Amino acid sequence: MISCDATCTMRRGSLIVTLGILCVASSARAGTWDPSGNFSFDPSAVFIQTFDDVAAQPQMTIVRSGDAVQGATYIDVNVLNGTPVSFAVTLPAKDASYVARMYARTNRVVASINVSYPNDGGSPSFGALFYPSGLVTTDGWYEVVTNPFSVQGSRAPTETLTIDANLADVDALEIVPSGSFTAFAQCAPPALLPTSGSLPSGSTCGAHQYCETGWCRDGNVGVPPLPPPDEIGDVLAYLHERLAIFFGGVYSRGNYLPNALATIDALRAAPDAWTFWNGVVTAIHRLHDWHTTLGSPVNIGGHGLLPVCFVEGNGDLSDGTVAKDPSYFDVLVSYVGPASTILQPGDRLVAINGMHPIAFVESLDAIDWGMWRADDPDTHAEAVERMVSVIRRFATNITYIHCDGAQMTCGQPTTIAVTDLPFDDGTALYPYCDHRPLYHLGANGPDPVAHNSYNGPFYGVAIESQPGEEIYNMVWNDAYIDGSTNNYAAAYGAIQSNAKAVILDHRLGNGGDVQGAQYLTSIFRPDQTIASWAGFNQTVGEFDAYTTNFGLELYQISLPTGAYEVGSTNANTALPTALLIARDGSASDWFPLGMRNGSPNIRVFGRHTAGAFSSYFLFDYFENFNWRMASGDLINPDGSTHLGTGVRPDEEIVPAQSDLLAGIDTAYARALDWVRTCTECRQ
Amino acid sequence: MRSPALLAPIVLGALAIACSTSQSPSEPLPPVIAEAGAPGPAAAPTRAAFHRNPFGDVLQSDNLFVDGDFEITGRTDQAPWIVISNQAQGTLDYDTGGRCRSGVRCALIDTTDALVGNIASPSVDDIEINLYVQPTTQRCADASVIALDIGTGDGSGTLQSITTAPDADGWCHFAGKVTNMAYEEPAVYVTIADNAQSKTLHVDQASALPASETPVHGALPPLVPLSAAETARAKFIAAWLRAHRKFGRNAPRTDPR
C-alpha cells in the first residue's frame, strides 16, 4: 500500500488537499488510537468531518465534551420528524473508490454517503451505508464503516453524509481511498435466476454487482462488511440456528426450511459482502413464508411510468389467443391511475421477460429483496400485488393483450421494452393495489382513484341495495384490536342494528391480532373453539417429526392460553353474510377460518388466503436491515396444523376480463346475488 | 459461558498514526485485555479501543435465546427482547461499544422497565441460563432476573448472581438451571430490584443451553421462588404479551416506485 507522504494536510469538514504525491491506495486503514486513547484520522483520508465546527441544524445537538472521539465536539442526532441530518461532503474531482468511517455511540445510526449525478444521464445515484466494523472503545463508541464505493468524480457528483438516529452520538468521519474504481455499465436485467441451490449467477455485471433498472449496481455498498475469515463460519452458524430452532410450523419447516438452511450453509466461501448478505437474504426468502420478509437497506427505485394494479383473473376474452397457464390464474389489469397510458382495466398481462408474470416475480428470490411469498404454495396474490414494482426494477420487457371494452374484444399480444415505458417524473398517482376492482359504498367508501382502503373500515348501505333490502357493505384491510380500541365496533353496531344482509369485503387483509380476528367473527356465527395457538416455536424440534397423536396432545396443552374461540352466543345466524377474500394473511387468515363453515348464513368468495397461521420474531440489525421470521403454528382439534394451507373459499372466483371491461366486480356481483337469493342462509 | 476467547477484545492502540506504508512487523502487537474491555494500564488512558465481533457472541450458535447478545434485536415491535415500561411495551434503549460486555450493542433499562427475552426449551433437558447485568452500584442484588413461562405467567424462579458484587468490569454474572419448559413459552425478565440503588442496568450476553451440554463449572446458585410482587409482575407481563401478540404485517403498502 502506498499512502500519503508527510505533506498530507487535513481540513475539517472539507476536501483534504494532498500535496506532492496523490493518495492512491489499494486498501485503506482506519484512523488510529494511541495507547492513551487519543484518536487520529487516517493520514490518507481525502475528507474528514470532525463535527467541531458544524453549523447547527434541526434534529441535532452539538455537544462540547471531553469524551469526543476527536477534538472537543461531537453531535447527538435525534431525528423526530423523519428528515435526517445532512452534511456536505467533497471528494476529489476524479474517478476513485473510497471507504468512509465514523464513530457512533449509545444507539444505532442509519447513515450513508450519498452520491448523485445531477448533470448527466449516466449511472444513477446511490448511497453507501455504514455498518459496525467491530472496533469499539471502552467509553461506548463504536466504529461504523462502509464497504468500498466508486465515485465518478469526473461527472461532478453531489455528495452528502446523512444520519438518521434516535439519540445517538456521532463523531469523526473520514473518507479514505480504498479499492479499485469501477464505472457502472448498462445491463439487461436477468430473465431468470435459480430458485434453489447455487447462488445467483448474475448477469452482464461484474463481481458483487447486480443488474437493476438497466444499470449494474454495486451490491456491496448496501450491505454490512463481509465477516472476516475467522468469524464468517460462526456468523453463519448463528443465523442457521436462529432459523433451525425458531422458524415456522409443521408445513413450512418440512417443505421450506431445508432449502433455506442449505442456502445459508453454502455461503461459507462467499467471496464478497454482497454475495454473503444477498445469500442470507435469499435464504430468508426461501423460507417461503408470508410473515418472513425483509426491511431492506437495498432499495433502489425503478423506472418507467406504470401506475397500474393487477389482479389474479380469468382472461375469458383472450384465452383463445394465449392459453391459460395450468398453474396460475391469468393476470389482468384491475384498475389504473389517472396517468396510465399503456394499460387499461381488462387488459391482460401475458408475460414478463417471456414468463408467466407470477412465475417471473416468484423467480427472483435471489435478487429481489422485497420478495414476498404466501405459505400456501397455491397462493400468489402477493406476487400480483408487487408486480408493478418488480417490472419497473427487474423486467426487460412485458407482453400484454389490449382489449376493447366497447366491442368486448381483445387483440393480439404486444411486447414492449420496459425502457419504452413513458418517463416517470415522480408526480403520477400510483393507486394502492387492494385487489378490489371497484368499491360499492359511493361517498362512504374509499377514494376510487387512490384506492386508499387502508384508512378503513368503510361501511354503510351498498349502492346496489334496493329499498327494503338493507344490504350493508364493509371494506377494511386488517384484523386488529389494540386493547380497548376497537375500530370495528361502530361498523358492526350498524350492521347488527340495520342490516338485512352484509357483504364483507376483506380482499386485502394484513392481519393484526387474535382479538381482532375473534371479534370480526362474533356477530355472524355461533360460539365455538375451532383451533389452538401453540405459541412461538419455543421447544426445540416441536414441529419436526410431528404426528397426529402429538398434535392432539399439543392441542390440549395449548388450549388454556391459546384457544381460538370464534363467534358468540348472541350472533345473528339468520343474517346472510358474504365474505370476500383475495390477499389475506395471518390474523386475516384466522378471520376467514373462523367464518368458513361457521354457519349456513355465511359464504366465502374469492381466492385462497396465505396460510400464514403463525406469529413472528423481528430481527433488526443496522441500517434498517431487518427481517421478520415466522414462528409457531395453529393446531386443529384433530391434531393437524394450519400453517401452509390457506382458507379455501366456498366459491373460488376471480375477476373476469369481460367483467373488468364492462365495469363489473365479478366476485362482488356473485356475493350480491347470493345474499339476495340464498334461502338456507336466512333460517 | 462458552468460548470466552471470542470475547477477548484486542486493544488496537499504538498503531502508527503517521502517513506510512503498509503495516510492518515492527508495529506493536495488540495486547489482550479483559473481557469487558477496560484494561486499566498504569498511565490511566482516557479510553481503549479494541475489536468485537459486530454480531456478538456468535460462537454460541446454539444459544436458545432468540438473540442472546442484542445484536439483531430492534427497539420496538416483536423483537427477541422487548421492554415493558409503564404497563405497556416501550422503546428498548441501547448502550454500545465497550460499555457492553460483548458485541456492539446491549440493553439499558431503568426503574420503570421490565426487559423480557424469549428462549427456547430443549424437548427434555433442563435449561442452563447465564446472563450478565451491570448495575450502577456495587450490589448485584440491584438486579432481578426471573425465569418464567410467558404463556401463563408462571415463574420458574429468580436467578442469582454468582457473586454479590460486580467483577472488575462492573458486571454481575447471573446463572441458574431451570427445569425443562417444553411446550411452554420460556423467557426471562430483568428489572431493577425493588430495594435497589441503581437507577439503570446494562444487560448483555445472555445464553441458554441444554443443561447436559454445558461445561461443568460447579454448582449453580439455586433458583429462588418469586415474591408476591414478582409473581404479580410476571402475570401482568404474560397477560400483556398474550393480548398483544402480533399476527400480521405493519406495512400496509408496497411502494411501486
Looking at the structure, tell me whether residues A174 and A209 fall in a common domain: no
CA A245 to chain centre: 24
List the single range of A201-215, A296-310, A517-531 with lowest mean pLDDT: A201-215
Burial class (CB in 10 A: 0-12, 13-18, 19+), A55: exposed
d(CA A422, CA B141): 68
Looking at the structure, tell me whether residues A165 and A36 fall in a common domain: yes
How many residues are present in chain B?
257
Contact criterion met (CB < 8 Å) for A235 and B55: yes
Looking at the structure, tell me whether residues A132 and A144 fall in a common domain: yes
Question: Residue B254's pLDDT is what?
Answer: 57
Chains A–B, number of C-beta pairs less than 8 Å apart: 295
Contact criterion met (CB < 8 Å) for B12 and A32: yes
**Percent with pLDDT over 70 in chain B:** 79
Contacts of A231 in chain B (CB under 8 A): 53, 55, 58
CA A190 to chain centre: 21
Q: Are A224 and A280 in contact (CB under 8 A)?
A: no
Q: How far is B122 from chain A (nearest CA, A)?
A: 5
Question: Residue B245's pLDDT is what?
Answer: 94
| Amino acid making up residue B105 | R
A14 - beta bridge partners? A48
- Cα distances from A91 to residues A8, A31, A101, A125, B61, in angstroms, run 15, 18, 14, 15, 42
A87 - beta bridge partners? A161
pLDDT, average across residues A625-652: 97
Q: Which of A415, A433, A451 is the last residue of a domain?
A: A433
Q: Compare A22 and A397 and report the one with higher pLDDT.
A: A397
Contact criterion met (CB < 8 Å) for A140 and B97: yes
In a domain, B75, yes or no: no
Question: Residue B249's pLDDT is what?
Answer: 77
Q: Please indicate if any CB of chain A lies within 8 Å of the CB of B6.
A: yes
Looking at the structure, tell me whether residues A209 and A145 fall in a common domain: no
Contacts of A511 in chain B (CB under 8 A): 246-249
Which residue, among B59, B134, B249, would best test binding to A if mutated, counting the most A CBs under 10 Å from its CB? B249
Question: Residue B84's pLDDT is what?
Answer: 96
Looking at the structure, tell me whether residues A357 and A424 fall in a common domain: yes
Q: Compare A25 and A83 and report the one with higher pLDDT.
A: A83
Count other C-beta atoms under 10 Å from residue B244's C-beta: 15
In a domain, B125, yes or no: yes
Q: Please indicate if any CB of chain A lies within 8 Å of the CB of B167.
A: no
Which pLDDT band holds residue B255 (cuts at 50, 70, 90)?
A: low
Comparing alpha-carbon positions, the chain A residue that sits nearest to B43 is A36
Nearest CB to B97 within list A137, A433, A585: A137
pLDDT, average across residues A176-195: 73
Question: Residue A241's pLDDT is what?
Answer: 97
| Amino acid making up residue A280 | V
Contacts of B62 in chain A (CB under 8 A): 241, 245
Nearest CB to A138 within list B18, B48, B105: B48
What does pLDDT average to over chain B?
A: 83
Which residue, among A333, A538, A553, would best test binding to B if mutated, counting the most B CBs under 10 Å from its CB? A538
Contacts of B73 in chain A (CB under 8 A): 619-620
Question: Residue A111's pLDDT is what?
Answer: 97
Question: Residue A190's pLDDT is what?
Answer: 52
d(CA A494, CA A461): 10
Looking at the structure, tell me whether residues A311 and A344 fall in a common domain: yes
Please report how the helices A257-265 and A273-285 are oriented relative to each other, as an axis angle in degrees rounded to 10. 170
Question: Domain residues for A491?
Answer: 442-527+567-611+646-682
Contacts of A242 in chain B (CB under 8 A): 66-67
d(CA A260, CA A254): 11
Which residue, among B241, B247, B250, B254, would best test binding to A if mutated, counting the most A CBs under 10 Å from its CB? B247
- Output the domain CATH number for residue A672: 3.90.226.10
Q: Please indicate if any CB of chain A lies within 8 Å of the CB of B10.
A: no
Q: Please indicate if any CB of chain A lies within 8 Å of the CB of B21.
A: yes
- In terms of Cα–Cα distance, which of B145, B138, B239, B217 is closest to B187? B145
In a domain, A258, yes or no: no
Question: Domain residues for B230?
Answer: 81-243
Contact criterion met (CB < 8 Å) for B256 and A388: yes
Looking at the structure, tell me whether residues A136 and A192 fall in a common domain: no
**Percent with pLDDT over 90 in chain A:** 84
- In terms of Cα–Cα distance, which of B94, B202, B74 is closest to A107? B94
Q: Compare A541 and B18 and report the one with higher pLDDT.
A: A541
Contact criterion met (CB < 8 Å) for B152 and A510: no
Contacts of A235 in chain B (CB under 8 A): 53, 55, 58
Residues B4-63 have pLDDT tens digits of 333 333 333 333 222 222 222 222 333 333 334 444 444 567 899 999 999 998 888 999
Our CA angle for B177, B181, B184, nearest 5°, is 145
In a domain, B165, yes or no: yes
In a domain, B43, yes or no: no
Which pLDDT band holds residue A180 (cuts at 50, 70, 90)?
A: very high
User: Is residue A152 scored above 80 in pLDDT?
Assistant: yes
- In terms of Cα–Cα distance, which of B35, B38, B55 is closest to B47? B38
B14: left (phi over 0), alpha (psi -120 to 50) or beta: left
Count other C-beta atoms under 10 Å from residue B205's C-beta: 27
Count other C-beta atoms under 10 Å from residue A66's C-beta: 6
Looking at the structure, tell me whether residues A109 and A32 fall in a common domain: yes
Which pLDDT band holds residue A682 (cuts at 50, 70, 90)?
A: confident
Q: Which of A369, A402, A433 is the last residue of a domain?
A: A433
Q: Are B189 and B158 in contact (CB under 8 A)?
A: no
List the single range of A183-197, A260-274, B117-131, B173-187 with lowest mean pLDDT: A183-197
- In terms of Cα–Cα distance, which of B92, B42, B66, B167 is closest to A631? B66
| Amino acid making up residue A505 | D
Question: Residue A484's pLDDT is what?
Answer: 77
Count other C-beta atoms under 10 Å from residue B78's C-beta: 21
In a domain, A369, yes or no: yes
Q: Compare A298 and B228 and report the one with higher pLDDT.
A: B228
Looking at the structure, tell me whether residues A354 and A483 fall in a common domain: no
Contacts of B120 in chain A (CB under 8 A): 245-246, 537-540
Question: Residue B251's pLDDT is what?
Answer: 53
pLDDT, average across residues A544-553: 97
Question: Residue B217's pLDDT is what?
Answer: 64
- For chain A, the distance separating the N- and C-terminal CA atoms, rounded to the nearest angstrom, is 86
d(CA A189, CA A207): 15
Q: Which of A433, A462, A487 is the last residue of a domain?
A: A433
Instruction: Give the three-state DSSP class for A258.
Output: helix
Looking at the structure, tell me whether residues A213 and A339 fall in a common domain: yes
- Output the domain CATH number for residue A90: 2.60.120.260
C-alpha cell at A272: 464478497
Which pLDDT band holds residue A154 (cuts at 50, 70, 90)?
A: very high
Q: Are B134 and B202 in contact (CB under 8 A)?
A: yes
d(CA A288, CA A300): 23
Contact criterion met (CB < 8 Å) for A106 and B252: no
Q: Please indicate if any CB of chain A lies within 8 Å of the CB of B75.
A: yes
User: Is residue A611 scored above 50 in pLDDT?
Assistant: yes
Contacts of A389 in chain B (CB under 8 A): 254-257
Contacts of B246 in chain A (CB under 8 A): 511-513, 615-616
pLDDT, average across residues A61-84: 94
Contacts of B182 in chain A (CB under 8 A): 539, 542
Residues A563-584 have pLDDT tens digits of 999 999 999 999 999 999 999 9
In a domain, B237, yes or no: yes
Question: Residue B38's pLDDT is what?
Answer: 40
d(CA A508, CA A591): 12
pLDDT, average across residues A277-284: 96
Structural domains in chain A (count): 3
Q: Are A186 and A303 in contact (CB under 8 A)?
A: no
Q: Please indicate if any CB of chain A lies within 8 Å of the CB of B168.
A: no
Looking at the structure, tell me whether residues A480 and A400 fall in a common domain: no
Contact criterion met (CB < 8 Å) for A538 and B12: no
Question: Residue A9's pLDDT is what?
Answer: 33
pLDDT, average across residues A527-541: 97
C-alpha cell at A661: 371491461
User: Is residue A199 scored above 60 in pLDDT?
Assistant: no
Residues B92-131 have pLDDT tens digits of 999 999 999 999 999 999 999 999 999 999 999 999 999 9
Which pLDDT band holds residue A29 (cuts at 50, 70, 90)?
A: low
Q: How far is B169 from chain A (nearest CA, A)?
A: 10
Contact criterion met (CB < 8 Å) for B38 and A138: yes
How many residues are present in chain A?
683
Comparing alpha-carbon positions, the chain A residue that sits nearest to B44 is A36
User: Is residue A83 scored above 70 in pLDDT?
Assistant: yes
Contact criterion met (CB < 8 Å) for A618 and B152: no
In a domain, B151, yes or no: yes
Looking at the structure, tell me whether residues A346 and A451 fall in a common domain: no
C-alpha cell at A28: 485503506
User: Is residue A359 scored above 50 in pLDDT?
Assistant: yes
> pTM of the predicted model, to two decimals?
0.91
Q: Compare A370 and B249 and report the one with higher pLDDT.
A: A370
Structural domains in chain B (count): 1
Nearest CB to A136 within list B52, B58, B250: B52
Residues A470-489 have pLDDT tens digits of 999 999 999 999 877 899 99
What does pLDDT average to over chain A?
A: 91
- Output the domain CATH number for residue B239: 2.60.120.260
Q: Please indicate if any CB of chain A lies within 8 Å of the CB of B185.
A: yes
List the single range of A618-627, B32-41, B62-71, B136-145 with lowest mean pLDDT: B32-41
User: Is residue A303 scored above 90 in pLDDT?
Assistant: no
List the single range of A63-72, A464-473, B142-151, B210-219 with lowest mean pLDDT: B210-219
Question: Residue A673's pLDDT is what?
Answer: 98
Q: Please indicate if any CB of chain A lies within 8 Å of the CB of B31.
A: no
A630 - beta bridge partners? A616
In a domain, A7, yes or no: no
CA A405 to chain centre: 35
**Percent with pLDDT over 70 in chain A:** 93
Q: How far is B111 from chain A (nearest CA, A)?
A: 19
d(CA B113, CA B116): 9
